[in-house]
Structure formats: structure tokens, C-alpha cells
Structure 1
Amino acid sequence: MSSPSPQPAVTVLGLGPMGRSLAAAFLAAGVRTTVWNRTPGRDRELVERGAVSAPTPEEAVAASELVVVCVVNYDASDAILRREAVVDALKGRTLVNLTADTPDRARDTAAWADRHGIAYLDGAIMTPTTTIGTPDAVFIYSGPAELHRSHGSVLEALGGTHTHLGEDIGRAAAYDVALLGIFWTAMAGYAHALALAKAEGITARELAPFAQGIGAILPPIFEATAGHVDDGSFSGEDNPLTSSASSMAHIIAASEAHGIDAAVMRAAEGQARRAIGLGYGNDGFTRVTAILGPR
């Protein structure tokens, strides 16, 4: 008679909103979960649900073969992980870093982990806390594929989709910053739109359904123009840069007539005008991607 498989275990370092959501999802899936947070008290609800609270990060690390860290940035994760006692505890274990930062910081952390005998997988969470533990969660990872496979069953307790993007340890962070660039520039544009609408007597609730319509046309545009960027065609057949720049100028004029800061739109118009000045006026807006590097 074979002995039962041991209960899977994980340690979660960092109990901000996302860290708490990760730990809660592990617990809900029946994973033995040890938690630690720099600020005491944030683990109370998790402990009531069955988590083990560790008094120090090194004791938390020692409790599990798999350690997940999720804090505000790599300065914060370094402050936890690079303490001598924690380094000693991490040796021979697997560290999955779901902290958001830059690709170079991910590569630096991977090199540090390798020097200290720590198996390292970098990752990013592409959806908000409310999705964790549900089918809507999206996780991406980069680093050793075998490491991702060996811990996949535990990580999948977090719900949603889990995609390994390749061996380059900085690849997940590269996807993260690129995709969040879309999100935050879109949110900046939406904030500007609401300010302009308000100045014209239009409430945010009145504008919102039409804003959603604008958002809905973007996915097919993303898909179509990705090919233009990859093959260098930058087609402007449907909407050339000269037309785009004219539209942006109208937005700037309307905004500044109300005293509204149009810096975000001025930046976009400036990129379009620069491309036009280089002779690309008949190309599509994605031509801008080819001129965004150093002048």
C-alpha cells in the first residue's frame, strides 16, 4: 500500500493586498501556507483560516520548499531576501518572485540567486487582487522551464492561466512593463477625457458607455497593427498619421480652452508630428514605434 502524497506547502512573503490574496487562494486550495509580513497584524485573518504565521522571514522560508514573494518592488524584496539568515534558509529551495519591477532587476536577482544556490523563477500578475483564486487570474513566468513545470501544480492553486514565456529570466517583467504601459497611458487618457467632458457639462456616467465603446475597438486594432510593426509596413491606409495628428490637435485645443492640462495628448501629438517631419505622414500611427528610441 503506497503512502499518501504529502500535503503541498508554500510560503508567502509580503502581505499587502496582493500577497494576502495569494495566500488566501493557496489556503482555499488546501495548500499548507506559511506567511510573513514586515508589518505585524496583517496575517490575522489568514491565520484564522489556517495559515501559519512565522515570526521572521527566515523561519517562514524554512517552512516550505516553495517560497513566493510579492511586495511593492525589488528594493523591498531585496531588503527581505538578501539578509544573511534568509539567504541561508533559501539555499536549495525554489523562490518565485511575483514582485513587479524591470527586466534588468529580474536578471540581477536571478544572478544573485544562482550565486547562492537558490532556484529562481520570475513572474508577474497581470490581473487585480479580486481575480486571484478565480478563472480570471492571469500569471506569467520566465526562467527555467523545468522549475515552472515542477511547481506548476501548486502555483495553479492561484487560479486562472499560468503561462511560461521562456528561459530568459527578464521576459515576464518585459511583458509586464509593456502591458502596464498600455494600461496606465489608457487610464491617463481616460482621466483626461473625463476632465474635458466635465468641462463641457458631460458627467462621467454619461460618457462611460461611449468610452467602453472606444475600448472595444482596440483589440482588433492591436492584432492588426502588430503585424505592421513586426514586418515594418506601418500601413496608414485607413488612418494616416497626418489625420491622427489633426485629431489630436483638436483635443488639445478643446482642452486648453478650458484650462485643462493636455500634456499627455501633447506628448502623443509630438510623436506623430516627429514621424510626419521624417516623411512618414502617410503611414499609420504605429510608425511611432520605430522612432521612439534615441534621436
Structure 2
Amino acid sequence: MKRSIAVLGTGRMGSALARALLASDHRMTVWNRTKDKAEPLALLGATVASSALEAVTSAEVIIVNVSDYKATAGILRDDAVASAVRGKLIVDLTSGTPQGARDAAEWCGRHGAGYLDGAIMATPDFIGTDAGTILVSGQGQAFRDNEAVFRALGGNVQHVGQDPGRANALDSALLALMWGALFGALNAIAVSQAEDIDLGELSRQWTATAPVVEGLVTDLIKRTDAGRFASDEETLSSISIHHSAFQHLLELMDARGIDRAVVDGYGFFFQRAIAAGQLHGDFAALSQFMGKAA
């Protein structure tokens, strides 16, 4: 049997979630504080609820996709809505912190509702496609019981652990990787523009070198997991090699008057590692210093 589902929050992402579920013939109720944002989904077969209580009452599975956990609490912790969630499954696909997810799971448990928390690792256009990735954590049995719902949302929806906060923790880690790449790209653009390098050329050279960078990241994670911080015959590059090249970047940026705010952060960790006698260690040795505040 197809589950009856309510989607609370029909912005771009919430609407994409609802469309994917409608395409899989799930019975769908949608609700949004601004009702006209939900109306287009009625043309696809969704019932537009006049209140969050109506939406929650209509469904076995309630998917929430709003701005943050405070907004989720503002919807669900209304006394009437809180009573209506008993026996239902709450799937919160709102961005937040691991502790926020754990607190939400605890509240749902006290009110007799199941809880799963999810981090959407995709833009709205990927929802409902084979490449759509959502990380889900919390009650494993609830995930397995509703696999058809999650399969409708994307071909790469994964249950990543019983801890409700695990999905958000992974989300933050992966976002850190993404922002590292994006801020690095901004730095590369600034250097290229200062040196009169065409940005099309930068793009072509990045495409050529990206597999090398991906290999370095994979090796860094693997070596850190194994605690292999000393340089050995499999070391791809040591801290000393990176630090030497880093000095050249700093000289170029100073000569061209490029803002060093981002790269000075890198320099801070190089110096911590060198002061601890790790100059000739594998680059992975830096992970010993990033994992704790100075």
C-alpha cells in the first residue's frame, strides 16, 4: 500500500519533494504558510491543506522541509498538532545541527511519533532522479518500513545510522569539503585575474588536474582513518613540500595585493604542525591540528 504523505513547506525544495512523491502515485497533502506557494501542486493531484493540523491529520508520514528546526518546532509543537502526530512518522528534511536533530527526535518520542532526520545533498532538480542523494538517520526500522517513499525521492537515499544527528553531521562535513573547494576557486580566480590569466584557461587546467586533487583528498581521508601520519613509501606529498609551495602563493598574493584572509587560515595550521615537529610528515598529519581548537 502506498503511504499517505503530508509535505509541510512547499518552497523550491519542498515542492520538488512533493512532485517526486506525486509522480510515484503517493496520496499527497501539502501545506505552506503562504498558501499560494502550494497551489501549483494541486494541479498535479495534491490536496492543499488549509492548516498544518489538517495536513498532519491526513497523513501517515509527515515530511517537513522548512527553514530550520525552530520553524519546524513552531509548526509541530502547537498543542493540537502535537496531539495529532501520535502514531505517525516525522521525516525532517530541514537543515540543522546534529543536536537539533537529536532534540527533535526526543520530542517526537515523547509525543508517540517516529522520527527520521535527513540531509538533502542535492539541488531541487535532482530530487526524484537516480542521482538524487539524501542522507537519512534515526530509527532504522522506520526507514526500512518506508523505503518506497524514500526511493521516490532519489536513487541514492541512504540510511546512515541510528543516531538522529548522524545525517546532519555528515552534511556539515561534506559542506566543509564543498566550501573548501569553492573558496579555493575564488582564490584561484583572484590570482588568475591578477596575473592576467583567462578564466577559461583556469577552467581547462582545473579539469585536467581535478583527478589529482580528488586522489589527494581520498588518500588524506584514508591515511587519517588509519592514523598513518608519518611520511612513508606511499606518501603522495609531505607537509614540507606543500608549505614550500604555499610560501610562493603568499609572495604572489602580497605582490599583487590580493586579500589573504582565507589562505592565512591555512598558514596557521601549517605553523601549528611545524611547531609540533611535523614538517616532514605526511600532509595527513595536519588532521591532528584541525580537529581541535588552538
Q: TM-score, normalised by structure 1?
A: 0.93
**Counterpart for residue 28 of structure 1:** 23
Contact 1:228 1:235 in 2 (8 A): no
C-alpha distance in structure 1 between counterparts of 2:157 and 2:278, whole Å = 40
Give the distance between the partners of 2:112 and 2:170, measured in 1 at CA: 27
Q: Please, which of 159, 182, 191 is the counterpart of residue 186 of structure 2?
A: 191
- Tell me the alpha carbon deviations over residues 49-98 of structure 1, each in whole angstroms, 9 at most, x when there is no partner: 11111111111111110011112221222222222222122121100111
Q: Is the 2:117–2:138 contact (alpha carbons within 8 Å) kept by the matching residues of 1? A: yes
Letter in 2 for 1:188: F
1:166 is aligned to 2:161? yes
TM-fit CA distance, 1:203? 3.2
Match for residue 130 of structure 1 among 125, 131, 135: 125
1:93-104 to structure 2, matched below 5 A, reads: 93-104=88-99
1:67 partnered with 2:62: yes
> What residue is the counterpart of 1:83 in the other structure?
78
In the aligned structure 2, how far is the partner of 1:169 from the partner of 1:256? Answer: 46
Alignment pair present for 1:140 and 2:135? yes
Aligned to 1:283: 281
CA RMSD of aligned residues (A): 1.6
Q: Given that residues 249 and 269 in structure 1 are in contact (C-alpha distance below 8 angstroms), is that contact kept between their aligned partners in structure 2?
A: no
The residue that corresponds to 1:271 in the other structure is: 269
- Higher alpha-carbon deviation: 50-59 or 234-243: 234-243
Q: Aligned-pair distance for 1:222?
A: 2.9
Q: Which runs of 5+ in 1 are unaligned?
A: none
Identity %: 36
Q: Residue 111 of structure 1: which of 101, 106, 110 is its match?
A: 106
Matched, 1:19 2:14: yes
SS in 1 for 2:90: strand
Shift of 1:175: 0.8
Change in Cα spacing, 1:134 to 1:254, as seen in structure 2 (3 Å) is same
Q: Deviations over 1:192-251 (max 9, x none)?
A: 211221222223333112223333223332332222112211244331112212222222
SS of structure 2 residue aligned to 1:68: strand
Gaps of 5+ in 2: none
TM-score by length of 2: 0.93
Q: Secondary structure at the match of 1:49?
A: coil
